Chains A and B, each alone.
Chain A
Amino acid sequence: MIELRNLTVRYRHTVAIDDLSLDLPTGKIYGLLGRNGSGKTSLLSVLASFRKASAGTVTIDGVDPFEDAALMAQTYFGRDSLDANDGDRVARVLDFARWLRPSWDDDYAGRLLETFELSTRKRISALSRGQKSSLGVVLGLASRAPLTILDEVYLGMDAVARTTFYRELLADYLAQPRTIILSTHLIEEVAGLFERVIIIDRGRLVLHEDADELKARGVAVTGPADAVDAFVAGRTVLSEQRLGGVRQATLYGRLDESDSAQARAAGLTLGPVGIQDLFVHLTSGHPELEAQR
């Protein structure tokens, strides 16, 4: 169990994480969502011992991970900027991981290099943005760290590479279950991987919930425009689309049985909503924080 209690991270006059408390059971894939500057990277940096918290505590199975050799060895933190020296060749970066990572899997790294078509002879400075990201993914997955944190590692990756990344991540997670925390802005693209979702905004916890339960917080109502208009009146509409006489409205809030029956009676179709719609609703403007553990 990863436990954060009243965690605060400050940079001089800026509060990046503000008194955040959270319990994260291990062995799951978490999606960490938040707008730019919401404190995602600061939170992950503390989890990975890259930064010391200004206040509050972090424990992993009861132990403070900061400067704990055993826990640091079992944690991989991949940042959007690859933590490797520009002058090094890819081979040297992999050497480092092989020398230092107790759970490093050479064979798997080789297969991933082939999959992402990365040359070991290239210098880091000669890699494109997407290739650097791919190398970060190779390091993250082949490290086989029990706590794998990937912070926007998809930057610059093309659609094929991103799809490959998601496929490899899921396959490797199923083969070697561990705790994976993914921070991303490409919410819809990755949402299918998430078992649980954490949303933070301005350094504070907005929501921590099972992904399926989060999706159930909203509903997409589709049908004749008039019937949809009548049904959604007085409800919170997150987004809407119209095509001819058909309207689809995304509602925030669960429908009870009578609401669902009323909608069906009116000829409306009810469907799930995307996490992105809910995320936009929860983090745009100034919604009341509804912190949940």
Chain B
Amino acid sequence: MSAFTDRQTADLVLGAAAEGEQGSAERDRRMSDWQRVTVALFRIYRPIAAWFLGMVVVVVTVASVIFSHVSPQSVSLWLIIVGFGSKYWLGIVAVMLISMQLRSFVANGISRRAFLAGAGVFSLLAALFFALLGPIGHAVEYVLLSLFVDLPAGYPAVSVSGAIGEFGHALPANLAFLVTGAAVTAGFYRFGGLLGLAVMIPALVPISVAESLFNFNDGAEVTTRFMPYAVALLLSLAATAAGAVLLRFQVRDVAIRRTAS
């Protein structure tokens, strides 16, 4: 009886009886390897990202309600929480890409090169999505708060230039966290404990640069420190690109271990 139930489940899960699934499988077969990697990663992380965003919405909503009863909200909670939360979340995703997904993909016949390319596209799109989420959510937060409370003058104004600035600060930081997370993990995966620790030093450069240059000011607005934005952006992207080169060097011929450690 239980086997029968499992068989039904298997049919549902494997999609043997579902035409939509068969069409999807056919589409998968027509894709190149890196495209399959990108699509598979979106399938894996879509529900995880939905949970993360759901939690962010709940936290921001609850915090906004509490703030509105205590004092006027002079900062964008959305910008702060998404700004901090998304880059750290992306960093954790990058750790998982190397520690968990690399082995699974290679074990299913995907080359390391195709994995890196597919994961790179996935990471870029994820970084873009979360960078866009900041200004879009900020605008939504502004509209909703305006409906219920009088926003104080200190609340970050919503404008096109402001949105571009928020996006422009979040994107390089997101990319830096992704590359550093993957490069640090790849160092331990490839070289083990001691050498992995040594590799951490260059691997942490992208995050160090991005965190030094892009941050929140006292008014909880994203800002650039020490130099003009264009120079800071170039510096951060260069450090991230160097991290990506390090990552590629570490993964291009790494032995596929039985465990992540």
Show the binding face of A for B, using Cβ within 8 Å.
45, 49-52, 66-69, 72-77, 79, 81, 83-85, 91, 94-102, 104, 106-107, 109-110, 113-114, 117-121, 143, 145
- Do the beta carbons of B14 and A106 come within 8 Å of each other? yes
- A contact residues around B25 at 8 Å (CB): 98, 104, 106
Q: B21 CB to closest chain A CB, in angstroms?
A: 8
Q: A242 CB to closest chain B CB, in angstroms?
A: 45
- B contact residues around A50 at 8 Å (CB): 106, 255-256
- B contact residues around A73 at 8 Å (CB): 33, 109-110
- B contact residues around A113 at 8 Å (CB): 6-7, 10
Q: Does B13 contact A (CB under 8 A)?
A: yes
Query: In the complex, what distance in Å separates the CA atom of A52 from the CA atom of B108?
Result: 17
- Do the beta carbons of A69 and B40 come within 8 Å of each other? no
Q: A52-B255, A110-B10, A119-B9 are in contact. Are A67 and B112 (CB under 8 A)?
A: yes
Q: A83-B103, A100-B40, A100-B108 are in contact. Are A120 and B15 (CB under 8 A)?
A: no
- Of the listed residues B13, B110, B255, the one surrounded by the most CB atoms of chain A closer than 10 A to its CB is B13
Query: In the complex, what distance in Å separates the CA atom of A15 from the CA atom of B229?
Result: 54
- Name the contact of B36 in the complex, choosing from A45, A66, A99 (C-beta under 8 A): A99
Query: In the complex, what distance in Å separates the CA atom of A106 from the CA atom of B25?
Result: 10
- Do the beta carbons of A85 and B104 come within 8 Å of each other? yes
Query: In the complex, what distance in Å separates the CA atom of A118 from the CA atom of B5?
Result: 11
- B contact residues around A104 at 8 Å (CB): 25
Q: B132 CB to closest chain A CB, in angstroms?
A: 27
- Do the beta carbons of A85 and B255 come within 8 Å of each other? no
Name the prevailing secondary structure of the B interface residues: helix
- Do the beta carbons of A98 and B104 come within 8 Å of each other? no
Q: Does B107 contact A (CB under 8 A)?
A: yes
Query: In the complex, what distance in Å separates the CA atom of A99 from the CA atom of B37?
Result: 9
Q: B198 CB to closest chain A CB, in angstroms?
A: 17
- B contact residues around A98 at 8 Å (CB): 14-15, 25, 28
- A contact residues around B110 at 8 Å (CB): 69, 72-73, 100
Q: A75-B109, A99-B43, A100-B109 are in contact. Are A118 and B6 (CB under 8 A)?
A: yes
Name which residue of chain A comes closest to B112, CB basis: A67
Name which residue of chain B comes closest to A81, CB basis: B258
- Do the beta carbons of A106 and B15 come within 8 Å of each other? yes
- A contact residues around B106 at 8 Å (CB): 49-50, 72
Query: In the complex, what distance in Å separates the CA atom of A81 from the CA atom of B7?
Result: 25
Q: A74-B109, A100-B110, A117-B3 are in contact. Are A110 and B11 (CB under 8 A)?
A: yes
Q: A98-B15, A100-B36, A101-B108 are in contact. Are A114 and B10 (CB under 8 A)?
A: yes
- Do the beta carbons of B16 and A120 come within 8 Å of each other? no
Other A-B contacts than A91-B13, A99-B40, A100-B108, 4 sampled, CB-CB below 8 A, are A84-B107, A96-B105, A104-B25, A110-B16
Query: In the complex, what distance in Å separates the CA atom of A238 from the CA atom of B193?
Result: 47
Q: A83-B104, A94-B14 are in contact. Are A49 and B111 (CB under 8 A)?
A: yes
Q: Does B29 contact A (CB under 8 A)?
A: yes
Query: In the complex, what distance in Å separates the CA atom of A74 from the CA atom of B29?
Result: 13
Query: In the complex, what distance in Å separates the CA atom of A117 from the CA atom of B3?
Result: 6
- A contact residues around B29 at 8 Å (CB): 102
Name the 9 nearest CB pairs between A and B, nearest first.
A83-B107, A100-B108, A91-B13, A73-B109, A50-B256, A51-B255, A81-B258, A110-B10, A114-B7
